[in-house]
Every structure is written in C-alpha cells, then in structure tokens.
Amino acid sequence: MAEVHVEEVELDDGTPMMYRDFGSYVRLAHDPAQMDEAAALALLCVRVPRLIGDLEISRPEP
C-alpha cells in the first residue's frame, strides 16, 4: 500500500499537476483551477501504475 499525499496549490499555466514518488508514499500537488483532484489521481495512476488499486489518500489538515 502506498500513501498519496494530495495538496491543492497554484501552479504555472500548463502545469496542472506535479508529483514526487518516494517509494512508500507519493506527494501529489494539483492546481484546482486547471485540473480537479479526480483527474490528477487518474493521471498519477497512469504515470505510476503500481498505485492502481493499492493507494491510500491523505490530505493536509485545514
């Protein structure tokens, strides 16, 4: 199981999401003005196929 840390951030135009794979967890940042969270997670799973069906999402506390 890999944990995916999801953050909403303002990114440059044309960069709707970024991620960094640390093995046991993945840090995902997406710009909600350019891409919603579901699309960002779907794209992440395309880029990191080992996450498909085996991820746990965490978000920062408000």
- Using the predicted structure, report yes or no on whether residue 15 has a pLDDT greater than 90: yes
Interval 36-59: pLDDT, tens: 999 999 999 999 999 999 899 999
For the chain, the structural domain boundaries read 2-58
Measuring CA to CA, how many Å separate 51 from each of 48, 55, 56? 6, 5, 9
Enter the pTM of the model: 0.91
- Which residues are within 8 A (CB) of 51 and not within 5 positions of it... i.e. 6 or more apart? 2, 4, 26, 44, 45
Per-residue pLDDT at 47: 96
Per-residue pLDDT at 3: 96
- Which residues are within 8 A (CB) of 36 and not within 5 positions of it... i.e. 6 or more apart? 30
Sheet holding 17-21, edge to edge: 17-21, 25-30, 2-8, 55-58
